[in-house]
Amino acid sequence: MKLYLTPGSCSTGIHILMEELELVFEAHLVNLMTGDQNKPEYLALNPKATIPTLVRNDGTALTEFQAIAYWLARSYPKAKLLPGDPDGDARVIELMDYVVGTVHGQGFTRIFTTDRFAFNEADFEAVRIQGMDIVKRGFAVINGVLSPQGYVMDAFTIADAALFYVEFWAYKTGIVLPENCQKHYDLMLERPVVRRVLMEEGYRLD
């Protein structure tokens, strides 16, 4: 398999899942700043020009964090990346979708790619403030449903990989995480695979 990723992005969550599963795959870096996602060869794989993209052994490509994470969990059920019961699976997907769609898709995108939301540079700061508010409110919601003792559910799931990457962004941008989210972030950093992936992607762990 081939994973197309950008270090420190949402694809870090998928990278973590694939390493947790001990899968053999090729990692291909996509430099978003230089426009690799818009090159014809990449658009042939993913016309959305987004990351991550997973090219599977049969040559077909999957895009979107949630779809790739779900496919990995269902393809390798022994790893128990989903709880396995309807309610548990739904809760995992519910939180994962909120992380990707709201905290990331509506919040952090306004902070990281402000120019997509405002044509006038004079409005940039207002857009960033709005993004910050969405992120902080999102973490407050998540904090309210997280167990103070552990993962999103009783054990590590695909939702934890999603939550970790936005917690990592919060850490890198100086956003203070609420108590349960901070405990979750610290717990994730205790996983050897998480630490290895961050180092592989070029991040120093203090």
Ranges under pLDDT 70 in the chain: 206
Answer whether 0.75 is exceeded by the pTM. Answer: yes
- pLDDT value, residue 206: 64
Long-range contacts of 119-126 (CB under 8 A, 24+ apart): none
Question: 54 has which bridge partners?
Answer: 3, 62
Q: Read off the pLDDT of residues 106-141 as tens digits, 9 standing for 90 and up.
A: 999 999 999 989 888 889 999 999 999 999 999 999
Residue 205 has a pLDDT of 72
For 47-62, how does the pLDDT look when each residue is reduced to its tens digit (9 = 90+)? 999 999 999 999 999 9
The confidence score (pLDDT) of residue 203 equals 92
104 touches 66 (CB < 8 A):
no
Instruction: Give the model's pLDDT for residue 171.
Output: 95
**Residue-level pLDDT at 31:** 94
Q: What is the pLDDT of residue 118?
A: 87
Query: How many alpha carbons fall within 13 Å on the CB side of residue 132?
Result: 10
